[in-house]
Amino acid sequence: MIKPYLTALILLWPTSFIFGQDATLHPWTDIQGRTLQASFISLDQEAQTVTIKWNGQVFPLPLNTLAPQSQALAKQLGAPAPAVSPSSASSPFDAIVAAIPTDTLGPEALDIEHDWTSADGRPMQAKFISLVGDQLTVSMNGGTNEYTLPLNKFSAESQGLAKVLQAVAKKHRPAPPKSSAPKAPVKPVKVAPAKVVEADLDKKHTWTSSDGNPLEASFLSADDSGVEVNFRGRPTKIPWSKLDAQSVALGKALQKLKKSLVPTILGANEKKLERYGSGKWRDYNTYIESVAFEAGIHSNGTTMHIWLLKDGQRVQSRPFTVDFEGTFKDERGSWGSRKVTSLENSPPASNDRRITSIKGTWNNEGTFEYSFEMSGSGLAFWGEAKEPKSTEFPTTLRVAFRSPSVVSDAKNATMEQIKEASGDGALYVDPLQEKRIKFPFDEKWADIQNKLKEKSKGKVEYNPIKYAEFNGSPFGDHKIKIQPSSTRTAQLIWYVRYGVIFPVQGSSLIHRSMDGAQAMYDFKNATDYKDRLKIKKSESLKVQVIRGS
């Protein structure tokens, strides 16, 4: 007798074979002519919906929202597999199977998991349930999952095993005699609809089988046949018939909620990138959600917003902001900033793209390309621009990082209110030549700067810096660190924004190439600094969130 066991392979095999998901990308076009590339998951003829997988997420789409060619594609991909005639289902093992005495295997063969192989060579372990015509039914994961598949989905050896076990089942599982007494009608169990909120879509739930066995797994999706859950890192489908009434109600409530939260997507135009038109990330083109932080690229193409997270919730009400800026000085010595007049490209709205590059034009007919890198380990920013030689006031490219104001009206707040909002929050900077400096949020910028001047007698330079760091109670347990990839060819400085009294009102950091920094100080000769409009990837500004307790 084969000893039953479960491995990670069992969880992988149903995902890639049993459910028949099509990993091929197909074009799906809606009735407004918009097209996206996504893989086919399933077709629900009764509900008239097709389920697709796009950018790593599963979405159900009503068929009547799709163009005729996409409706036809859905019906083609969702058509049931053609029936296999007995002659075509035969295998080289049929003669051997017919010659095997049924006494060779006892009834215990029906109670253990056997080794099976798919037609394309993928192994699995499962218990035989039945073979009816060309449809083989097996169960896995201790009976939690049951699947019915065409016999031709299996290798010739596994087809032979199925027929042997079918013969054993006929001998040891005789069909029960038909009763002439009418069956009493089964009264349906009434279960109140489950109450769910958006957070329930991500957390683990206890799913109870119809015979009382619990399973801890998070929800993925559901359809008329059952619910798909994330069990030990793998998608696993559970038929409704295998769950108790409460678990069925939970699965259907979560699917209804998920459908209501599917964001719409708005097309790009001259001033806006393609973007989400509803939901949490409305008006953002690209976003990332990690354990410690979440960030999104705004549809204006130049700005990213960053929030720190604790237990899945945003710590601060206002985000950290990162902006690409083209700055210049006019004839009066006043600083100005180039306006974006058009965006030349728009990447598709996404939540799993690592690098997003945006091209556009400034109001002086200069062109730019800004690059944002987003991953769970942190963020990075680099870019370059070109402008006509006839530009009267030469531009420099910079990346500006700004912390949010923790107090909404600090000018009219009392010191007690300032201290309460500041807590132990502070900005720390590490100059290239000097020791680390702390800027407590509840001290005035002017007082801090005067202390530094007295201490150094005006001879110490506190800019540029190696890195800056924000931490303390306004930002929860985490801290956010900002540093250039290179301090040899790029420069990071801190400065006090106009009209700001306390660091709790917000702090600013500016990152440029070394040529960009020199052009800022020598703006009359700015054109002498050829790389003033370039921040190379090797000079990128990096932002890292360091997790606390």
Give backbone dihedrals phi and psi of 320, rounded to 5 degrees, phi first: -70, 150
Q: Which two tokens stand for residue 138?
A: 């097996």
Query: Which of 56-65, 140-149, 321-330 is the least confident region?
Result: 140-149
Shared-domain flag, residues 238 and 364: no
Q: How many CB atoms lie within 10 A of CB 418?
A: 20
* Calpha distance 376→408 (Å, rounded): 30
Asked if residue 515 belongs to a domain, the reply is: yes
Shared-domain flag, residues 106 and 254: no
* Residues, the chain: 549
Mean pLDDT, to the nearest integer, of 225-253? 88
Q: Which two tokens stand for residue 76?
A: 């083609």
Asked if residue 271 belongs to a domain, the reply is: no
Shared-domain flag, residues 53 and 92: no
Asked if residue 291 belongs to a domain, the reply is: no
What does the pLDDT read at residue 13?
33
For residue range 443-498, what is the model confidence (pLDDT) as tens digits?
998 898 888 888 777 666 788 999 999 999 998 888 999 999 999 999 999 988 88
* Calpha distance 119→290 (Å, rounded): 39
* Three-state secondary-structure class, residue 505: helix
Of 210, 238, 261, which one is at a domain's C-terminal end? 261
Enumerate the β-bridge partners of residue 510.
400, 493
CB 92 within 8 A of CB 83: no
* Three-state secondary-structure class, residue 170: helix
Shared-domain flag, residues 319 and 427: yes
Residue among 464, 492, 468 at smallest CA distance from 479: 468
* Calpha distance 228→444 (Å, rounded): 56
* Calpha distance 339→326 (Å, rounded): 8
Q: How many CB atoms lie within 10 A of CB 345?
A: 12
Asked if residue 268 belongs to a domain, the reply is: no
Of 172, 207, 227, which one is at a domain's C-terminal end? 172
Residue among 155, 123, 154, 120 at smallest CA distance from 137: 154
CB 495 within 8 A of CB 445: no
Shared-domain flag, residues 168 and 314: no
- Quote the domain boundaries for residue 159: 84-172
Q: Enumerate residues 6+ apart whose C-beta is below 8 A from 184.
A: none
Shared-domain flag, residues 52 and 94: no
- Structural domain total, the chain: 4
| Residue reference for tokens 């556009």 | 360
Of 77, 104, 120, which one is at a domain's C-terminal end? 77
Shared-domain flag, residues 226 and 160: no
What does the pLDDT read at residue 307?
95
Shared-domain flag, residues 471 and 380: yes
Asked if residue 280 belongs to a domain, the reply is: no
Shared-domain flag, residues 238 and 106: no
Shared-domain flag, residues 150 and 222: no
Asked if residue 220 belongs to a domain, the reply is: yes
Q: Which ranges in 18-155 belong to alpha helices (H)?
A: 68-77, 94-99
Mean pLDDT, to the nearest integer, of 112-122? 83
Asked if residue 312 belongs to a domain, the reply is: yes
Residue among 450, 484, 446, 481 at smallest CA distance from 464: 484
- CA of residue 63 relative to chain centroid, distance: 26
Residue 29: which CATH number? Answer: 2.30.30.700
Torsion of CA 317, 322, 327, 332, to 10 degrees: 30
What does the pLDDT read at residue 401?
97
Asked if residue 231 belongs to a domain, the reply is: yes
Q: What is the CA radius of gyration of the chain?
A: 32
For residue range 403-456, what is the model confidence (pLDDT) as tens digits?
998 887 777 788 888 899 899 999 999 999 888 999 999 999 889 888 888 877
Shared-domain flag, residues 500 and 412: yes
Sign of CA dihedral 337, 342, 345, 347: positive
What does the pLDDT read at residue 23?
64
Neighbour-count burial of 445, counting CB atoms closer than 10 A to its CB (0-12 exposed, 13-18 middle, 19+ buried): middle
DSSP string, 235-279: EEEEEGGGB-HHHHHHHHHHHHHHHHHPPPEEPP-SS--SEE-SS
* Calpha distance 487→489 (Å, rounded): 6
Q: Enumerate residues 6+ apart whose C-beta is below 8 A from 53.
A: 21, 38, 39, 40, 41, 59
Query: What does DSSP say about strands 396-402 and 508-513: parallel, antiparallel, or unpaired?
Result: antiparallel
* Three-state secondary-structure class, residue 1: coil
What does the pLDDT read at residue 80?
63
Of the pLDDT bands very low, low, confident and very high (cuts 50, 70, 90), residue 15 is: very low
Cα end-to-end span (Å), the chain: 50
pTM of the model: 0.57
Shared-domain flag, residues 327 and 474: yes
